[in-house]
Amino acid sequence: MSVIAVVNLILIIILVGLLANMLYVYVSLKRKATQLEEAEFRVQSKNQQLIDTRERDSFNAGHIMGARNFPYSMLKEVGQSLRKDRPIYLYAQTKGMEARSVNVLYKQGFRNIYVLKGGFDQWTGRVKKTQ
């Protein structure tokens, strides 16, 4: 096998891996959570458990009014402080982070999970900045 053939094979394997990851993210979100457009998310998330899974610096730079910050890196530990009898509305920076956050919450027994379609970048409503 020539060097070019080996490089092509490696690139194909990487591409297949990336496509498999994208499919996993899509399927995870579809099966375990409901994605909502901004208008629907805004109405339904009022007086509910609104979770921002971005890191603290991003949260402090601006977050949806009423959101609590549970960064993905700490979600396993702080997830117990959330109520399972109430729906969870969450948003993140990327679809991949949303899927990982949903998976963590789903494994902890949460079933009513709603995700802001497009994440925080698509939010046009009121934003609160912390310091």
CATH of the domain at 38: 3.40.250.10
Q: How many domains does the chain have?
A: 1
Q: What is the pLDDT, as a whole number, of residue 129? A: 87
DSSP secondary structure string, 38-96?
Answer: HHHHHHHTTTSEEEE-S-HHHHHH-EETT-EE--GGGHHHHGGGS-TTS-EEEE-SSHH
Type and span of the H or E element at 21: helix 3-32
Mean pLDDT (whole number) for 83-97:
90
Is the model's pTM score more than 0.85? no
Beta carbons within 10 angstroms of residue 95's beta carbon: 18
Residue 23 banded pLDDT, cuts 50, 70, 90: confident
As a whole number of angstroms, the distance between CA 40 and CA 68 comes to 19
pLDDT for residue 63 is more than 70: yes
DSSP letter assigned to residue 127: E
Structural domain of 24: 3-128
